[in-house]
Structure 1
Amino acid sequence: MRPTAPLFRAIRRLPLNTKQAGKDFYKGNRTGAMGWHTKYGGYKIDYKKVRTYICPDLSDFNLTPFVAKRIEKVAENWEHHESKSAVDGKEYLRQWKLDGGVL
């Protein structure tokens, strides 16, 4: 089944997508190139194009990670415990608040 001639001309003007191209077509994720390929198969990075992220000052930041404060770091003798019952989200948040979590 083929589209009509006017529709086919309109489809040709649209960007190519993975359904219209062959199996080797990779569209990418719009990140852009941060350098260029050399003729010897290497890659040179242009550091003017590399993205840098600046983290703001978080000293007065009042949100906490989603871990209770009384939880200790994992030691070498870590054991895995499984529960037989399912826990819903409200019960998990209630237990987290009881363990010292802050919202």
Structure 2
Amino acid sequence: MQPTPVLQRAIRRLALTTKQGPHNYYKGNRTGAMGQHTKYGGYRIDWKKVRTYVCPDLSAFNLTPFVAARIEARRDRFAHTESGGPMDGKDYLRRWKEEGGTI
């Protein structure tokens, strides 16, 4: 069964997928090789090909959040427990037993 001629032309224009190509076709993710395989099954990294990103000096840069100043702080936080923080596992089990929880 084959697609119609109109559909065949449309399929030719689309990107090739791994299911449409030959049995050993690997599409990859455009990262490129950063080394080469050895004949013993290992991989040797070529450090000239490894990407390095240089971050500019941000010591004098004041970062601000992407939140407007008129937004109020949230007040729907967890109720503080005996431990002083959000409910942890021990607090949950204690409260569950107090409210009549059974196994």
TM range (shorter): 0.3 to 0.5
Question: Which TM-score applies when normalising by structure 2?
Answer: 0.48
Q: Which has the higher contact order (CA 8 A, sep 6+)?
A: 1
Larger Rg: 2
